[in-house]
Amino acid sequence: MRFLETIRSAAAATGIAAACLVGVAAPAVAAPVHAVTDANEIVEACGTQSVCLFDGATISNAPELASALPEGVRVIVIPEPNQAESVQSSVIATQVQAATGAETVIIIEDRAKDRFSVASDGDATAITEALYSQGESDGGIAVAAIGETLVPGSPAQAPGVGFDGTAVIFGAVALIAVAGATLGVILFARRRRNARGHTSRVRSARLEKELTAALNGEDGAYIQDSIEQLDRWSAPFPTIGPRVTGMTRHVSELFVRVHKRGSDQQLRLLQSKYKDTLSKLRKALNDDYYGDIVQNPQYWSNPEGRLAEVSLAIDSVDQQAVENIRQVNESRDLEFKVALDSLIQTVNQAKLSDVYTDREQ
């Protein structure tokens, strides 16, 4: 990828030289191991998505898998768990199924070789064995391979079983107990979601207010508008939506912290740098580029490569913002190493000969 080569080659060369800013390449930020401690957080974040990439976790075929899954089947991809803190994936699968009413829930742990946990009205053990038997390192490919077998059939009645009043009574009692327990889980999840939603809104309102106070001038207004635009444009796309939300939150937090702890000169230079960076992401995430590639991949050459390039750009900016926050916390000079020029060249050079290759035949 031209963009990948540019990031690697320009990492040490791109920077801002000023009295309080130096252009020394910062070390790469290692991806943390996440702790999923509450299934309700996943339920809230994933909403009604049939394929949900939670907290930055990925599979290679999310859009295709979402369109191919049978009704009632949900796939949730989570980061590699922190074994000391995380809830077991099997527990998450069961709780998500109870809260959403899905017939089958498949949890994929995003690892070098993905792992699975399944909760299903059908044979969860058989589904799990079938997934592992595919031998795929990418969990999305494995799910797609067995997709047609995921529709749970109606449970067959055992032969020779007639009407038994006692069995009916005990069955009714058991059904009521299960329904009550399920209703309790759903109501509990709803209360938790409402409480967490309120806390999240308060936190977001606080950050937005502090960001408005931190930004100033034309550059500041452009940055705030860009953050809002990027969040809005990426929301319909489960592959990048959570990534963009995390990235814009980190960028916002960076400006708030520099406003509180840094100098006016730092803030002005930071605004100038991130204005340029966010303007490039806006071009890439515009409906005319990213949105059109997702909806009409047949009109683009190498659509998967183009989408991957945009995803990498988002992750790169996010990592840079987090590293800048650490530098602020440690009272170090801010360093920059993000170069998106190749991405924008790719966007700008999307000519008709590039785009409509299928119409040249």
Tens of pLDDT along 315-352?
989 988 888 888 888 877 777 666 676 676 777 665 54
> Is residue 93 included in any domain, yes or no?
yes
Specify the pLDDT at position 90: 83
**How far, in Å, CA of 138 to CA of 53, rounded?**
13
> Is residue 335 included in any domain, yes or no?
yes
Q: What is the reported pTM?
A: 0.44
pLDDT band per the 50, 70, 90 thresholds, residue 175: low
315 shares a domain with 255: yes
43 shares a domain with 11: no
317 shares a domain with 241: yes
> Is residue 48 included in any domain, yes or no?
yes
Residue 322 structural domain: 2-16+215-359
334 bridge partner residues: 21
Per residue in 124-172, pLDDT (tens digit) is 888 988 898 898 889 999 999 998 888 655 333 333 444 445 544 455 5
- Give 285-291's long-range contacts (Cβ < 8 A, gap of 24+): 285/230, 285/233, 285/234, 285/240, 285/244, 285/310, 286/233, 287/233, 289/347, 289/350, 290/233, 290/237, 290/240, 291/233, 291/236, 291/237
116 bridge partner residues: 108
Into how many domains does the chain fold?
2
109 shares a domain with 238: no
145 shares a domain with 67: yes
Amino acid letter, residue 224: Q
> Is residue 34 included in any domain, yes or no?
no
Averaged over 96-117, what is the pLDDT? 91
71 shares a domain with 11: no
Specify the pLDDT at position 188: 47
CATH of residue 43: 3.10.310.50
> Is residue 168 included in any domain, yes or no?
no
239 shares a domain with 353: yes
222 shares a domain with 350: yes
**DSSP E strand stretches across 101-255:** 104-110, 115-120
pLDDT band per the 50, 70, 90 thresholds, residue 27: very low
Q: Which of 127, 149, 171 is the last residue of a domain?
A: 149
Residue 86 has pLDDT above 50, yes or no: yes
226 shares a domain with 328: yes
115 bridge partner residues: 109
Q: Which of 105, 126, 149 is the last residue of a domain?
A: 149
251 shares a domain with 138: no
Other C-beta atoms within 10 Å of 228: how many? Answer: 12
* Residue among 43, 10, 361 nearest 193 (CA): 43
> Is residue 268 included in any domain, yes or no?
yes
76 shares a domain with 9: no
Averaged over 220-241, what is the pLDDT? 88
> How buried is residue 348: exposed, middle or buried, by Cβ count under 10 Å (0-12/13-18/19+)?
exposed
230 shares a domain with 340: yes
Specify the pLDDT at position 179: 52
Specify the pLDDT at position 141: 93
Q: Which of 149, 167, 189 is the last residue of a domain?
A: 149
